[in-house]
Amino acid sequence: MNPDSYLYLSAILFSLGALGVLIRRDAIVVFMCIELMLNAANLAFVTFSRMHGRLDGQIFAFFTMVVAAAEVVVGLAIIITVFRTRRSASVDDANLLKY
């Protein structure tokens, strides 16, 4: 079986995640789309790990998952704090800072 297929899947998943980050407005859903991108990277790591016959890629995938867990903790804490003071989790409402 051609390992390309797994990498196509990973590449399209990554792009879909990036698309979501660009078009979504709710901070939590934006974060979900970032999770999609991280998963795409993990899939690429595991595929390459299989192709090279070396475990480094799988180890990297473990680390990514733990880092994602830490990120979600930090992210939700920030999002919920912002929500409490402002009653909205939409990224577009975060407009006190101008461009």
Q: Which two tokens stand for residue 8?
A: 């196509």
Minimum distance from residue 74 beta carbon to other proteins (Å): 5
74, burial (CB in 10 Å: exposed 0-12, middle 13-18, buried 19+): exposed
The footprint of other proteins on residues 60-89 (CB under 8 A) is 60-86, 89
- Count residues near other proteins (CB under 8 A): 94
Minimum distance from residue 93 beta carbon to other proteins (Å): 9
Q: Which two tokens stand for residue 76?
A: 């939700």
Q: Which phi and psi (to 5°) does residue 90 adopt?
A: -80, 135
The footprint of other proteins on residues 5-44 (CB under 8 A) is 5-44
Minimum distance from residue 79 beta carbon to other proteins (Å): 6
